[in-house]
């Protein structure tokens, strides 16, 4: 088995699960026991202060958006670029934290790229591999730039990159422009 940790999964039209329609999932962990990822492009309807106050039992004043990491309920999870507060490295320059102390510090950090997620995407042993084999997911390399970019355009940008890779590989072309009218 090849681990997909640090890769993007984007939902293909063959995936029947409505939770993942046009989803971009950052794979945090993937091994023989299963897989765990965070959906990057689904914003939760509440702000971070609304979620943190009941979670930590104290008043918060933070208008940062919260993202739906996936359909599985779970603790608040942060991905960020601050190695100082890292509990796990996902790719170079992108880290995961879920401890309260780390969340407190990250929210206060003015120059930190930070996304907070409520819930996660999870697969049991072999489940993701079955979905990949059925054509439910397409895989693309992830970068910190993409992870912390505008989420509204993320699915389209990653899907276009995958389409260009497929076209370039299948036709042995050295360069394919983003817009075919440039030819």
Mean per-residue pLDDT, 118-122: 95
pLDDT(180) > 90: no
pLDDT number for residue 60: 60
What is the pLDDT of the chain when averaged over all its residues? 85
| Burial environment of residue 57 by CB neighbours within 10 A (0 to 12, 13 to 18, 19 or more) | exposed
Q: Does position 143 have pLDDT exceeding 70, yes or no? A: yes
By C-alpha distance, which of 153, 135, 126 is closest to 31?
126
pLDDT on residue 183: 47
CB 113 within 8 A of CB 83: no
Distance CA 154, CA 63 (A): 22
Mean pLDDT of 159-172: 61
- The pLDDT value recorded for residue 175 is 52
Q: How much is the pLDDT for 45?
A: 84
pTM of the entire predicted model: 0.84
Residues in Cβ contact with 171 at an 8 Å cutoff, skipping those fewer than 6 apart: none
The answer to which of 5-14, 96-105, 153-162, 171-180 has the lowest mean pLDDT is: 171-180
Q: Domains in the chain, ordered, with CATH?
A: 7-76+113-182 (3.40.1740.10)
Residue 132 has, within 13 A of its CA and on its CB side, a CA count of 15
Distances (CA, A) of 88 to 81, 82, 99, 170, 175: 11, 11, 11, 37, 36
Question: What pLDDT is attached to residue 23?
Answer: 93
Instruction: Look at residue 90 and tell me whether its pLDDT is greater than 70.
Output: yes
d(CA 147, CA 115): 9
**CA-based torsion, 19, 20, 23, 27: positive or negative:** positive
Q: What is the pLDDT of residues 47-86, one digit of tens each?
A: 777 776 555 555 566 778 899 999 999 889 999 999 999 9
Between 55 and 19, the higher pLDDT residue: 19
Could you tell me the pLDDT band of residue 139, with boundaries at 50, 70 and 90? very high
Question: Considering only CA atoms, which of 74, 72, 82, 73 is closest in space to residue 104?
Answer: 82
pLDDT value of residue 168: 46
> Which ranges of 91-153 does DSSP label H, i.e. alpha helix?
100-108, 127-133, 144-147
């Amino acid at each position: 088995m090849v681990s997909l940790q640090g890769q993007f999964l984007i939902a293909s039209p063959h995936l029947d699960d409505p939770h993942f329609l046009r989803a971009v999932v950052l794979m945090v962990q993937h091994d023989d026991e299963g897989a765990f990822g965070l959906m990057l492009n689904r914003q939760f309807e509440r702000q971070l202060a609304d979620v943190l106050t009941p979670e930590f039992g104290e008043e918060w004043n933070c208008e940062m958006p919260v993202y739906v990491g996936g359909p599985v309920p779970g603790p608040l999870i942060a991905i960020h670029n601050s190695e100082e507060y890292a509990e796990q490295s996902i790719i170079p320059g992108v880290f995961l934290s879920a401890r309260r102390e780390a969340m407190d510090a990250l929210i206060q950090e003015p120059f930190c790229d930070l996304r907070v997620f409520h819930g996660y995407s999870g697969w049991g042993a072999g489940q993701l591999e079955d979905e990949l084999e059925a054509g439910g997911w397409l895989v693309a390399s992830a970068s910190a730039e993409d992870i912390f970019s505008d989420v509204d355009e993320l699915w389209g940008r990653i899907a276009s990159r995958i389409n260009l890779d497929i076209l370039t590989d299948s036709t042995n072309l050295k360069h394919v422009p983003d817009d075919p009218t440039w030819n």
